Amino acid sequence: MVFRHQVRWPSGLRRTPGERVPAFCGTGVRIPPSPDLQTNISKVKKFTLTHYYSFFSPNKEVAYILFKPSEFIDFAEGQFLLLEKDIDSKPIKRAYSIATTRSQLQKEGVIGTIVKRVSENGMSNYLVKKIQPKDNLKAIGPLGHMKLDENAQNLLLIAIGSGLSPIFSIYQALIEKNNFQKIAFLYWERTSDFLVPQVINKIKSFESTKIYNQFFLSRENKEGFQKGYIQQGLDSAIKFLGTNFKTYLCGKPQMVEDITSKLINDYKTPKQNIVFEKY
């Protein structure tokens, strides 16, 4: 059933000149508000996602994709969905972390992910290169152990490449609730060509005396970015946070393992204060 739906641009995302809200946004499936966002988290459901809008990196290899789900999904920031689509007549199912927040789903009716294309004919290629407005995908979720701890006060957020999805979700939720003392955010990519401007600008807009943001590019010299890897930024980030902090990190397995072992061995971070997802 189709309901009248208020047309709104996703919060904090700046339109480029001439860019318009897609015409199909005017009608959509109405998402009933959750009775209580604090309860009933993580009930796994099967539902449908309808493509709503994609923002791209300059090289068009990374997309921040927003969908309209067929029903309200009560997830915790940090979790992921299993997406399924028939590609070349074969059903393909892959996991994608949620990059948006529960409050964005409730207020704007959107749920999103950030996808890097790593295949020529797999799911990431479909999501970044082929998806069309109003395309439908099957979804299962929410899934996953990575969940924002509402009580954490000092947070070290580390995102490696496409591992930005769950970290961006957690970061935005912390800013929305303003229930933290300090956040240090470290992010790595190869070059700025892989960065989606709308995502990076939103993260930059969070900067304040309570926030420490540092962006690393390993293969490019660029103003506002440090040349190198996240490991080089741990010292400054941890000095900013103090001794007691919770870490969320996500991305390439080798980098996640290296950073985790540095946190445990060099900075004496208790293992239980580190939550990670590797892919």
Ligand X SMILES: Cc1cc2nc3c(=O)[nH]c(=O)nc-3n(C[C@H](O)[C@H](O)[C@H](O)COP(=O)(O)OP(=O)(O)OC[C@H]3O[C@@H](n4cnc5c(N)ncnc54)[C@H](O)[C@@H]3O)c2cc1C
Segment 124 to 143, residues that bind ligand X, using CB under 6 A: 124-125
Number of residues that bind ligand X (CB under 6 A): 21
224 contact partners, CB below 8 Å, separation of at least 6: 215
Smallest gap, in angstroms, from Cβ of residue 124 to ligand X? 3
**Shortest Å distance, C-beta 20 to ligand X:** 27
Cβ-based burial of 115 (10 A; exposed 0-12, middle 13-18, buried ≥19): buried
Task: Find the binding residues for ligand X in span 137-176 (CB under 6 A).
Answer: 144, 162, 165
Contact call for residue 85 and ligand X (CB under 6 A): no
Binding range to ligand X, per CB under 6 A, among 20-28, 89-97, 178-186, 216-224? 89-97
The nearest distance, CB 143 to ligand X, in angstroms, is 8
Three-class DSSP category at 253: helix
- What does the alpha-carbon distance between residue 237 and residue 117 come to, in Å, rounded to a whole number? 30
Instruction: Between 8 and 129, name the residue whose CB sits nearer to ligand X.
Output: 129
Paired tokens of 255: 């980098």
Select from 80, 185, 194, 276 the one that contacts ligand X (CB under 6 A): 80
Residue reference for tokens 């990374």: 62
Q: Which residues contact 240 (CB under 8 A, 6 or more apart)?
A: 182, 184, 212
Residue that the structure tokens 């010292």 belong to: 235
Q: Does 95 bind ligand X (CB under 6 A)?
A: yes
Residues in contact with ligand X by the rule CB under 6 A? 80, 92, 94-97, 113-116, 118-119, 122-125, 144, 162, 165, 277, 279
